[in-house]
Amino acid sequence: MGSKGKGGRMRFQPDASAMMKQVQQLQAQMLQAQEELAEETVTVSVGGGAVTVVMNGQQEVRSVTIDPAAVNPDEVDMLQDLIMAAMNEALRKSRELAEQKLAPLTGALSIPGLM
């Protein structure tokens, strides 16, 4: 299991097959989590429901709904701002969803900057 290093002390050498098995399990769990994120959605409404965005956990927009009352040719700038706000909020919530789903897996890796 171990080998003698400098000074005759034993050093721990991880079992490569056990480590490989753990990596394969983690890969399977990550794949499952990513598949689940593709199906889970977040829904965000802004402007009192004037604009609603549905986004999945992989940051793909599933739908954008605009209340016809919000469509005023004289206030296109306001509608554009509402759409942008809804998209940004949906993206933020989708990232939170992904972080919650993947945190148990990425925490096991302890790789800074992964998530």
Mind listing the domains of the chain with CATH numbers? 11-108 (3.30.1310.10)
Q: Are 37 and 23 in contact (CB under 8 A)?
A: no
Which residue's entry shows tokens 């000074």? Answer: 7
CA 5 to chain centre: 43
DSSP state of 33: H
Which residue's entry shows tokens 């480590």? Answer: 19
Half-sphere exposure of 27 (CA within 13 A, CB side): 6
**So what's the pLDDT on residue 20?**
86
Q: For residues 102 and 53, give the distance between their C-alpha atoms in angstroms, rounded to a whole number.
A: 23
In single-letter form, the type of residue at position 37 comes to L
Q: For residues 63 and 60, give the distance between their C-alpha atoms in angstroms, rounded to a whole number.
A: 9
Distance linking the first and last C-alpha atoms of the chain: 34
Q: For residues 99 and 30, give the distance between their C-alpha atoms in angstroms, rounded to a whole number.
A: 12
What residues in the chain have per-residue pLDDT under 50? 115
**So what's the pLDDT on residue 108?**
59
**So what's the pLDDT on residue 67?**
95
**So what's the pLDDT on residue 14?**
66
**So what's the pLDDT on residue 68?**
94
**So what's the pLDDT on residue 71?**
92
DSSP state of 8: G
